[in-house]
Amino acid sequence: MKGFILMVLGVGHLYEAFGVSHSMTYFYTTSSEVPNFPEFVVVGMVDGVQMVHYDSNSKRMVPKQDWMNKRTNTQYWESQTATALVSQETFKTDVDILKQRFNQSGGVHILQYMYGCTWDDETGQTGGFRQHGYDGEDFLVYDMKTFTWIAPKQQAEITLRKWNRDQSGLAFRQNYLTQECIVWLKRYLDYGKSTLMRTVPPSVSLLQKTPSSPVTCHATGFYPSGVMVVWQKNGQDHHEDVEHGETLHNDDGTFQKSTHLTVTPEEWKNNKYQCVVQVTGIKEDFIKVLIESEIQTNRGDPAPNFVPIIGGVVALLLVVVVVVLGVVIWKKKSKKGFVPASTSDTDSENSGKGAQKI
């Protein structure tokens, strides 16, 4: 089981192998009786970068990146907003229906919807994903092999039968995930290519608080987010007493990741330990050999000077969603100018097939 929070911040990692895979993901969150939090929120992301945002307080879909604002027009945002408004009402009704099915009355309840697609720009391989979660558990999952719905919960059986009988709805969703979503993903990659397709090498440091503390290999300032940070012992990958941290956002849009090695000074002085960092799109390996002169420490300082800082819009979203959702856990990642072939990239087109009622 992977946390929903991890999906939000995973910047494509749940659907992206280490390589050149790209992803577009939408997250819908509908909440009931959560104080100081919008009842309905939509977050759209490309390669883990938030590009659009909607909530029930503002009732407007808005760009979160300059390249989205520059490469789209009023028609696009009006269409996106209209789609979100329809989904907002549908999902609000769905929460009431689910309360009845689960014999619930008041209290905090969360309905979540996640969908999107992936594309590997080297192999051309594509994929899709779509699922609903309710109060921290899978409710409905879309099977990309059969293009039908699966119901992990008995309370979802009614919806399962209804949705799987809707042949036009199934066809719409299959076409969206296998065709249209990929078109929009490539389009957004083109819109933001100066940002999304760039490569920035990491700065790698070895950090240690005290001689008995784990040695941290800290890579920061790299882009894109695909990264491997591994420890090697005498030229071989070393996994014993190694703890891997998550990939986190920096304020400037780059990323950071730390991997911690627990080893005694005697052990690393008698063997060759080194940290190897590999970043997607960069052929060069970045290596730091574990020797005393390479270790940065804050021994004697009142406050560490190398504590990673999580910043940026998505990190703020993490804090908000962690507080609100708490235990919510899920399994599972063109031409210049606006292209008017379709005015919305979501799966809630004018046919209404995206905002199916539970």
pLDDT tens across 282-339, in order?
999 999 999 999 999 865 443 333 333 333 333 334 334 433 343 333 333 333 332 3
Same fold for the pair 2-195+314-330 and 203-311: no
pLDDT of residue 142: 97
Please provide the average confidence, as pLDDT, over all residues in the chain.
83
pLDDT of residue 280: 87
Q: Which tokens in the block code for residue 300?
A: 């004697």
At the fourth CATH level, the homologous superfamily of domain 2-195+314-330 is MHC class I-like antigen recognition-like (3.30.500.10)
Q: What is the DSSP letter of 106?
A: S
Are the C-beta atoms of 277 and 286 separated by less than 8 Å? yes
Top-confidence residue, 21 or 96:
96
pLDDT of residue 160: 97
Burial of 35 (0-12, 13-18, 19+ CB in 10 A): exposed
In the chain, % of residues over pLDDT 90: 69
Which runs of E-coded beta strand occur in the chain? 2-3, 21-32, 40-46, 49-55, 62-63, 109-120, 126-134, 137-143, 148-150, 203-207, 215-222, 227-233, 236-238, 242-244, 248-249, 255-261, 273-279, 286-289, 295-296, 329-330
Tell me what the mean pLDDT of segment 220-240 comes to: 95
Top-confidence residue, 302 or 235:
235
Q: Tokens 């509908």 identify what position?
A: 30
Does 15 have pLDDT greater than 60?
Answer: no
Does 93 have pLDDT greater than 50?
Answer: yes
pTM of the model: 0.74
How does residue 348 score in pLDDT terms, banded at 50, 70 and 90? low
Does 62 have pLDDT greater than 90?
Answer: yes
pLDDT of residue 324: 38
Q: Which tokens in the block code for residue 201?
A: 């090498």
Q: Which CATH class is domain 203-311?
A: mainly beta
Domain boundaries in the chain? Answer: 2-195+314-330, 203-311
